[in-house]
Structure 1
Amino acid sequence: MNANASSQKTTEPHKHLELDQGALDAASRSLDEGAVTPSYGPWRDDVVKLLNDALATELVCVLRYKRHYFTANGVESPAIAEEFLVHANEESAHADRIAERIVQLGGEPDFAPTHLLERSHAGYDESTDLQAMVRANLVAERIAVEAYRQMIVLIGDKDPTTRRMLEDILSDEEEHADELKDWLGH
C-alpha cells in the first residue's frame, strides 16, 4: 500500500451505526397501519400488486395440480398423481403465505375466481395424457421460478420480509420443477 492510500484511509471520519430516531418515533404513530411503518416507502401498492399476481398464480397452480391429481391414469399414474397432490398442497401453502403478507402490508388479497386467470403468470391445463400433464406443470413451475426471481430483484431491499418469503417460495418452485423434470419420459 502506498503512503497516499494509507493516509486517505485514516483521514476518513468514522461513521457510527445508529438507528434513525425520527423513524422510530414515527413508528409509534398511525397504529392502524400494523406492520407498515411510515419509513416503508412508496412501494407498498406495487408490492401488493406483485403479490396479488403471485397469489393468482399459486391458486391457478393449485387448481391445475388438483385436476391432474384426480384425472391422472396409466401405469405411472399413482406415483405421479401423488406428486401432483403434494405440489397442490405446497402451492396452497404458498398462497396462504402470500395472502397473509398482503394483509400485513395493508392490502386486500384478491381471491376472486374471475380475476385468477387474467392475473396468473401460469395457465390452467385440462390435459388427459399423463406426460402432457407433467409437461404443463413443468412449464408452469418454470414460469413461476422466473416470475419469483424477477419479483425478488424488483423488491430488492425495499421490503426485506417480502423478499425473504419470495426466496423461500422460489426454492420450493425450483424443487417442484426438478421433480417434474425427473418424471418426463417415464
Structure 2
Amino acid sequence: MSTEAPTKSPAPGNRLVLDESAINAAKSGLDKGAVTPHDAPWREDIIKLLNDALATELVCVLRYKRHHFTAAGRSSPKIAEEFMVHANEEAGHADRLATRISQLGGEPDFSPDSLSKRSHAEYDESLDLTAMIRANLVAERVAIETYSQMIDLIGEKDSTTRRLLEDILSDEQEHADELKDWLKE
C-alpha cells in the first residue's frame, strides 16, 4: 500500500512552461552579451545597488589599509596584518561587483568624488587599535545588513547577482566574527 499522497495535475494555465517569446528575443541583441529580456525590468535598479555596494567595498579597502599602516600597540602587528588581508578581500569583492555591473551592461562607478557619498560604510581615521577594530566591525555589520537587504530585494529577479551577493555576504560575516573576537583579546 502506497503512503504517498496522490499527485494533482496543475490547473490549466499554471503549468511550468518557458516563455518562447523571451527565448526568441534572446536570439537577437547580441551586442548586449549576457543581458537578456529576463534581466531588463530590473537591470538599472540592480546596477545602482551594485554600484553603491562597489563604493562601500572601496571605502572599506581604504579604511582597512589606513588601519593597517597606522595600527600601533602590543597586539598591532598581528591585527595590522589581518587588516591588510581584509583590505585585499574587500578589493576582490569590489572587482567581482564591477565585473557583474559590466556584465549587466552598466558602468562600474569608481569616481573618487562620489565614493564616500554612495558608500553605506564610513571611512575611519582612528589611531587607537580598539577604535579601529570597532570601526571595522561597524562597517562589516553595515555590509551584512545591506547585502542581506539586497539579496531579499533581488530575490529571483537576477539569480547570478543574488549568488554573488550571497558569496560576498558570507565573507563579510566571517570578517565580523573575527573582529568581534579581537575585541575580546
TM-score (normalizing by structure 2): 0.92
Alignment CA distance shift 1:20-1:185 (3 Å): same
Task: Return the offset for 1:24.
Answer: 1.5
Partner of 1:118: 117
Partners of 1:62 and 1:92 within 8 A in 2: yes
1:38-70 CA-to-partner distances (Å, cap 9, x unmatched) read 232311000000000000000000000000001
Partner of 1:142: 141
Aligned partners of 2:53, 2:129: CA distance in 1, in Å?
26
Alignment CA distance shift 1:10-1:142 (3 Å): closer
TM-score (normalizing by structure 1): 0.91
Aligned partners of 1:11, 1:175: CA distance in 2, in Å?
43
Say what the alpha-carbon RMSD is for the aligned residues.
2.0
Query: Residue 84 of structure 2 aligns to which amino acid in structure 1?
Result: L
Matched, 1:76 2:78: no
Aligned partners of 2:59, 2:84: CA distance in 1, in Å?
14
Matched, 1:33 2:32: yes
Query: Residue 50 of structure 1 aligns to which amino acid in structure 2?
Result: L
Matched, 1:128 2:157: no
1:68-119 CA-to-partner distances (Å, cap 9, x unmatched) read 0011011100110111011000000000000000000010100000110000
Aligned partners of 1:60, 1:75: CA distance in 2, in Å?
27
Identity of aligned residues (%): 70
Partner of 1:86: 85
1:14-56 CA-to-partner distances (Å, cap 9, x unmatched) read 9764432222111010111111112323110000000000000
Alignment CA distance shift 1:118-1:11 (3 Å): closer
Partner of 2:107: 108
Matched, 1:165 2:164: yes
More helix by share: 1
Alignment CA distance shift 1:11-1:102 (3 Å): closer
Aligned partners of 1:100, 1:65: CA distance in 2, in Å?
22
Structure 2 gap ranges (5+): none
Aligned partners of 2:147, 2:92: CA distance in 1, in Å?
16
Alignment CA distance shift 1:13-1:19 (3 Å): closer
Number of aligned positions between the proteins: 181
Deviates more, 1:35-44 or 1:103-112: 35-44
